Amino acid sequence: MENTFPITYKINVTIEPEDLSKVFKASGIIRPSDDLPRLQRMIDHSDIILSAWDHKKLVGIARAITDYSYCCYLSDLAVDKEYQNSGIGKELVELLQKQIGEEVTLLLLASSIAMEYYPKIGFEKVENGFRISRKR
């Protein structure tokens, strides 16, 4: 289903940590939503932030780290539950792909509840990954 809301997409506009916190909480994604200084650092050190707005309300975010040459890590893809299943997440990913270009691989780590979603918007599941988890 495509969205029926008057959604505006923006690239690298200023995002306040309070707005990021609200969209994380409203989406169901697990992030340090109450740690505003940490959210501010997440914003400050992102290479690309794509946002979806319903008027002045932030309803979706795609936050990425990239070298613009070889790889891009999609650190956050979150859409407010009231706006999910309307194409916003897919549009954010497509806009991200346009920003990074065809030479760059787009990577992400999915939560268990999102494993069914990502193949629907063009991601291929891979098995050859490793991680060292954060302490908090």
pLDDT tens-digit map of 37-62: 999 999 999 999 999 999 999 999 99
In a domain, 125, yes or no: no
Check which CATH number belongs to the domain holding 94 and give it: 3.40.630.30
| pLDDT recorded at residue 1 | 46
Percent of the chain with pLDDT over 90: 74
Is 64 within 8 Å of 72 (Cβ atoms)? Answer: yes
> Which structural domain range is residue 41 located in?
7-120
Q: Which token pair is 27? A: 């989406």
In a domain, 65, yes or no: yes
| pLDDT recorded at residue 116 | 86
| pLDDT recorded at residue 48 | 98
In a domain, 135, yes or no: no
In a domain, 113, yes or no: yes
51 Cβ contact partners less than 8 Å away, ≥ 6 residues apart = 9, 10, 13, 15, 58, 60, 61, 62
Q: Give me the number of domains the chain comprises.
A: 1
Is 10 within 8 Å of 50 (Cβ atoms)? Answer: yes
In a domain, 61, yes or no: yes
Cα→Cα distances 3→46, 52, 84, Å: 27, 11, 9
| pLDDT recorded at residue 5 | 63
In a domain, 57, yes or no: yes
In a domain, 134, yes or no: no
Percent of the chain with pLDDT over 70: 96
| pLDDT recorded at residue 114 | 81
37 Cβ contact partners less than 8 Å away, ≥ 6 residues apart = 17
In a domain, 132, yes or no: no
Catalytic residues: 118
